[in-house]
Chain A
Amino acid sequence: MTTLTSTVDVNSSAYRDNRDAMLGKLGQLNTEHAKALAGGGQKYVDRHHNRGKLLARERIELLLDPDSAFLELSPLAAWGTEFPVGASVVVGIGVVEGVECLVVANDPTVRGGASNPWTLRKSFRASEIAAQNRLPLVQLVESGGADLNSQGEIFIPGGRMFRDLTRASARRIPTVAVVFGNSTAGGAYLPGMSDHVVMVKERAKVFLAGPPLVKMATGEDADDEELGGAEMHARTSGLADYLAEDEADALRITRRIVANLNWHKEGPAPDADFAEPKFDAEELLGLVPTDLKVPFDPRQVIARLVDGSVFDEFKPRYGASLVTGWAAIHGYRIGILANERGVLFSEEAQKAAQFIQLANQRDIPLLFLQNTTGYMVGKEYERAGIIKHGSMMINAVSNSQVPHLTVVMGASYGAGNYGMCGRAYDPRFLFTWPNARSAVMGPQQLAGVLSIVARQAAVARGQDYDEAGDAAMRQMVESTVESQSEAAYLSGRIYDDGVIDPRDTRTVLGICLSAVHTAPVRGAEGFGVFRM
């Protein structure tokens, strides 16, 4: 057993500069999060309250067990798009009657809770998390349906929402719909496809067509309550299983529904007792250099993440640019892969492939701590088979069946993003630190490559190269790539599950590990052909 020691000098100027820079980024992050929290703005919040209704997060707070945690996912969804930050829906993992649930709540203060393309993507991601981790899904519904201006982007893919719901049910994952307001037209299938349905008296409205459309279609006169009121659904159609007196009552009933699910985790339980890390998470702020080109020792991060700061390193003397080893977080055993000096060589790739196979043999989840500039390039490395070795690592990551968690601590460039279980490799959860960057390569490198290619083309055509144009092009490309590599941009596109405060990393991973253990944890029986 190896207990890590700290090498962080909190009095050094580098530490202070790093910390100041990180605090600055966190300040910006809070500003963006505040936009998600503000929903549709004060005017719509007040209007909603004045109708005697609760906000999405107020509903969630009442739903959750007192003093339990709530990990909001994709809060920055739609950041940098024409749609409001948060995508008019709140998604997160919370504990209801001792059961971890995936909670989805429409934010009715944002355009009536109408879905836009990002709402859809965020909801799909929520369904995916529920399905992969076997989390009961609780939807707090109040949505005006599709945002008609973007219906073209919503209608066809949107059908997946209902497909996912019933597939979850078929896989015996409980689904609960609590209808607080509108859930009409397509939205009507949301309660329709759920295992359990609660409707709030005089508030819920669930019908395929509202009074005007019915009048147009058949000439029939009908009002909202007759067509799809909670009383009607509870007493006549049977679509509602429970008629709630008011919003709080609906949440009370929902808690009882979850309490009666007879829900048990299928993954192994955590150790009953575990120690907190020996070093202060606060120091993570000063650990990451402001310049991503400067590497840092991931063991200093691990020492602040894992139980008792105990980390038993695997192959410490081989492929030293990638740190691998065993540890535990909140009592859950994990294997960790962390970049030390950015670059992945053949040795690192082979070490990773072996380590991942070991974790699969032992049913141990994996944590990827990314800070990589990619696989090494150059004649020597190509000749030594860097493609083969990189492929082995990607093969192992792709076919690994144990749960993966990824945290992007710094750089995530090139195929390193793939090998270290980037978004496309389906980690169960992926979180980003506010300073992190992800792209095919660094902005300068990318601009430089474009410049070289253009110059070669000009030379081939026998033309003079436009140096001024080249400089302008390089600057433009650099700044575009720079902004598109940023954490908020990537988070806005739901390429991660959220940007987190580094100091919260242990807590976030603890919640995620607890969530992933709701499903069985079982390693792969086989991998793709490892090219030797």
Chain B
Amino acid sequence: MSRLLHILAIIAVTIPPVFAHHSFAMYDHTRTVTLKGEVTKFQWTNPHGYLELDVKQKDGSVKHFSCEMTSINMMLRLGWRSNMIKAGDQVVATVAPLLNGDPAGLLLDVTLPDGRKLEPGVPAVNTFKRTAPEEQ
């Protein structure tokens, strides 16, 4: 599996940057946030898939985040499957947050409970600056 993921990672960085469904300019390109949370839904839909997360806050409350992914067609070609993540999974997601402050972000990568790290193949992913883990 690690070999497969290595191949996926290579494919992910060689995806041409023009193949975007729409602009991702509404997401912050200058910082990332790290979401450690429980999956409430792994939504396998077009035009984009969504990873829905409940993230426990320091005060004990729970905040919900929506993580936008790419087209499931692209994700399938990169090796993703609809059953790779399920409700109840504890995951760690790296996202570029929405600039308007709404609790959502563009998923750059997600680490599954078994340690596998998946990337949804965001176009021009290198234009998103990754910053030190900033938990929400």
Are A and B associated in one complex?
Answer: no
| Residues of B bordering A, CB below 8 Å | none
